[in-house]
Chain A
Amino acid sequence: MAILEVKNLKKNFGELEVLKGIDFSLEKGDVMAVIGSSGNGKTTLLRCINFLETPNEGEIIVNGETLFDASEKDNSSESDIRKKRLHFGLVFQNFNLFPQYTVLGNVMLAKELLEKERPDYKQNKKQIKAEIEAEARKLLDEVGLSDKLDYYPHQLSGGQQQRVAIARALALKPDILCFDEPTSALDPELTGEVLKVIKSLADSNMTMIVVTHEMSFARDVANKIIFMDEGKILEEGSPEDIFENPKHERVREFIGGIGAI
């Protein structure tokens, strides 16, 4: 069964149709790169999947459970929406770390707030906190930041901040982790360290959707690529299909223009 199915997703901003019917599905462990030039709906697609925007039409199904269906009146409570959100994680272009928390604090905060709702939280507070902290330390070790636990975001480089953001998203154990141009705010030197982390996540079978302009990364790490143009998927396929035998002139132009081949 597909871990994620997106069916006929449409989104308008007033008169402007940004998404004109997007369909795709992912299997567990798939890494899907979303490419295409700016202003064609890539970011909006991610924002819809993460419930930051409400689609006008379409369905989002995770593990067979319909999380969103535009044709049904949504009367889910705030806590329902939060549960749905937790199937997904999102890493932003601008990191959006919380400046007043340390690296460790950033990774622990959301999980702590979530665990406070457990009925046994009061009794086992110490133990629960210790578990959250141990998990956060482990994640930060995996992204190579175990020596920066007590630093504040402004004391870190962009690449380090983005790795904290990845650890922060992973702390909630999302089924699908989404990245919105995770390296666009970084200089080339720092881009590599972030891409390395994403690649190692791919190797550990994490299901991911990555909106990116890094073509060589898309080709090497993704097993599935969609090319978006004017709010639609113009072409989709394996990296070989897209990079070596693109069917559409538009895709060929884009890839050729970027000079990835």
Chain B
Amino acid sequence: MFEISFFAQLDWEQIREVLTSLNIGFVKSLEIFFLTLLGSLPLGLVIAFGSMSSVGIIRWFNKLLVWVIRGTPLMLQLIIIYYGPGIILGNNWWGSGSTGRFIAAMIAFILNYACYFSEIYRGGIEGIPKGQYEAGEVLGMTKSQIFFKVVLLQVIKRIIPPIGNEVITLVKDTSLVRVIAVYELMWDGQNYIKSEGIIWPMLFTGVYYLLFSGLLTIFLGWLEKKMDYFKV
């Protein structure tokens, strides 16, 4: 009886409208997610090599960058990168449109995640036993051959679990961009609280995050399994 009346009360029209709106927000969240990875995974490697550089100033610059970025909230970085140029320099690079806000958000995200990734890379690279490099050297390999043919795959195998952790965190961090008014999934959900006084769209957003991070978990597990054929 309860179920029948429960479903009878559902406003299917409204649900469809909410889902359509949430889907638009979700696409934005996905854009932020994939663009952040696309930028930060390679940039992280550059920062990792920078922080291992034998040139003191390069090393310290990169270590300082990592310290500042990891030591402050991503939300703060978003705000400073977006509002900073306009207020401090009196010149708002980002313009007034949503494109400018999105670009500012992407810069903050890519920089932030690159710093986290760089530390994971550095740990992975420094964790490779010296003997692997020496074995390559005495076999007459060049430095780049040793890195690409011997070391790299071992590093990748080691860093998949910690990288996976960050990737899952990123799924949820995408919701932070709303602080500079980039509209994404959670913004859409929250809108319904303000405009119509209903909270269930917010719960729906949770389901989107769960399903997406669930898919990623399955993918990461598959990737780990792919690398199971050797041990480091």
Contacts and interface: CB of A to CB of B under 8 A. Distances in A.
Interface of A: 50-52, 78-79, 82-83, 85-86, 88-90, 92, 94, 96-100, 109-110, 113-114, 152-154, 168-169, 172
Given A52-B134, A92-B131, A113-B145, A100 B154 contact: yes
Contact of B138 (A52, A94, A98): A52
Given A99-B230, A100-B154, A154-B230, A113 B149 contact: yes
Interface residues of B, number: 23
The 4 closest A-B pairs by CB, nearest first: A110-B139, A96-B135, A96-B131, A154-B231
A85 B153 contact: no
A82 B150 CA distance: 17
A52 B143 CA distance: 13
Interface residue SS majority, chain B: helix
Contacts of B131: 92, 94, 96
22 contacts: A51-B137, A51-B138, A52-B134, A52-B137, A78-B142, A78-B143, A82-B140, A85-B138, A86-B140, A92-B131, A92-B134, A94-B131, A96-B129, A96-B131, A97-B135, A99-B230, A109-B149, A110-B141, A152-B230, A152-B231, A154-B230, A172-B140
Contacts of A96: 129, 131-132, 134-135
A100 B231 CA distance: 7
Interface string B50-73: 000000000000000000000000
A98 B140 contact: no
Q: Which of B129, B141, B157 neighbours the largest number of chain A CB atoms within 10 Å of its CB?
A: B141
B232 A99 contact: yes
| Residue among B134, B135, B150, B153 with max Cβ neighbours from chain A (10 Å) | B135
Contacts of A94: 129, 131
B231 A99 contact: yes
Contacts of B132: 96, 98
Contacts of B143: 78
A178 B129 CA distance: 21
B34 to A, nearest CB: 28
A208 to B, nearest CB: 15
Interface of B: 129, 131-132, 134-143, 145, 149-150, 153-154, 157, 229-232
Given A90-B138, A100-B157, A172-B139, 20 more contacts: A51-B137, A52-B137, A79-B142, A83-B140, A85-B140, A88-B138, A92-B135, A94-B131, A96-B132, A97-B135, A98-B150, A99-B154, A99-B231, A99-B232, A100-B153, A110-B136, A110-B139, A153-B230, A169-B138, A169-B139
Contacts of B154: 99-100
A85 B137 CA distance: 8
Contacts of B150: 98
B153 A114 contact: no
Nearest to B152: A100
B194 to A, nearest CB: 54
A98 B137 CA distance: 13
Nearest to B153: A100
Contacts of A92: 131, 134-135
Contacts of A50: 138
A200 B230 CA distance: 31
Contacts of A113: 141, 145, 149
A148 to B, nearest CB: 15
Contacts of B149: 109, 113
